[in-house]
Homo-oligomer: A and B are copies of this chain.
Amino acid sequence: MTGATIRDVARRAAVSVASVSRALNGLSSVHPDTRARVLAAAEALGYVPHAGARSLSLARTHAIGVVMPDLHGEFFSEVIRGLAGAASARGYHLILSNIDEGEDHMAAALRAMRGRVDGLVAMAPHVAPPAFAALLPPRLPTVTINTPDYAGGPALRVDNRGGAAAVARHFVTIGRKRFAHIAGPAINADALERRDGFAAALPAGTPIAMAEGDFTEAGGARAMAELLTTDAAIDAVFVANDMMALGALQTLRDAGRRIPQDVAVAGFDDVPLARYVSLTTLRVNMADLGGRAATRLIDALEGEGEGAGEVPTADLIVPPLIVRGTTVMEP
């Protein structure tokens, strides 16, 4: 019903299915005349090979699975874009599956990947690492992005601590004294690393006013309001991501603080919006991250059998600090 099969083509060309397969896949040892007949028959029937059947017998799907939570939007979509580009260039498809609704739902989504993909790109900053490893289908090559302490394969990580430290040094350089931090959710590994990296890079013993947000703009606004009531004297705040920073900026301006004269603000991610509001931030090139992940995975898949690439290396990607108008006056 879905269309002509290889047997239909074989019948019409009056050859065996084996010859059709050989002819269509460009194998040698097919007589030119036969090949021509097969191609004509396929064309006439509008034959399109059935990818599912093909991958079953080849044990190769030419697809890679992508599992990640739909958290802070920009990030998600940029990574996908990078993945899609790299995958498509190598002839691979992407299979998406977002994992928000609970751990069992996630387990189901992960298991459903077996037999559908050749490998996985996973990003799960919010799950306890051992649990996550256990959920992965066994023996499915996986490269992780920003997934803490996962030792099962190649990993890509952005240097959250290093980035946060750069902000701390920048604050000190421009002469700030009273620091605050708006953190992400406590269950998020990126959030924790950014907080710790910031604290560690300030002179020992420096007090830091803390508030927690949820990586959304509204959450950032709320956290900032909270900080203003408890620690009104702050003159520098490092926000764990850009979206929260936007909310924080709004709250500060509404409260009459001048940016950056009264208080300096820095974010993390460099989402497209950041340039427009002139937000100082760390640039993490998300599309590039996705592209690298895909490339790494496909390299591993196609080098299979070689023991060469087997060492599960972890790349640490250092985000550059982009200094803009929320920390230093612009011309």
Question: A70 within 8 Å of B by Cβ?
Answer: yes
Tell me, in angstroms, the Cα distance from A1 to B55 when the chains sit together. 15
CB of A51 within 8 A of CB of B116, answer yes
CB atoms of A139 and B2 under 8 A apart: yes
Q: Write out the residue numbers on chain B whose beta carbons fall within 8 Å of the beta carbon of A95.
A: 63, 93-96
Query: By the criterion CB–CB under 8 Å, are B114 and A2 in contact?
Result: yes
* A78 contacts B by Cβ under 8 Å: yes
Which one, B1, B53, B138, contacts A3 given CB within 8 A?
B138
Q: How large, as a class, is the contact surface on chain A?
A: 35 or more
Cβ–Cβ contact B76 & A115, under 8 A = no
Indicate if A152 sits at the interface (CB-CB under 8 A): no
Interface pair B88/A81, CB less than 8 Å apart: no
Shortest CB-to-CB span from A253 to chain B, Å, is 13
| Chain copies in complex | 2
Instruction: Name the residue of chain B whose CB is nearest to the CB of A114.
Output: B48
Tell which of B81, B93, B138, B273 touches A70, judged by Cβ atoms closer than 8 Å: B81
A93, B81: Cβ atoms closer than 8 Å? no
Shortest distance in angstroms between A130's beta carbon and chain B's nearest beta carbon? 16
A80 proximal to B (CB < 8 A):
yes
A309 close to B (CB within 8 Å): no
Please, what's the 1-or-0 string for A278-310, where 1 marks a CB less than 8 Å from any CB in chain B?
A: 000000000000000000000000000000000
Q: Roughly how many angstroms separate A9 CA and B59 CA in the complex, as a whole number?
A: 20
**A56 CB within 8 Å of chain B:** yes
Inter-chain contacts of A63 with B (CB < 8 A): 95, 116
Contact yes or no, B114 A50, CB < 8 A: yes
* A114 and B49 contacting across the interface, CB-CB below 8 Å: yes
- The verdict on A207 contacting chain B, using a C-beta distance below 8 Å, is no
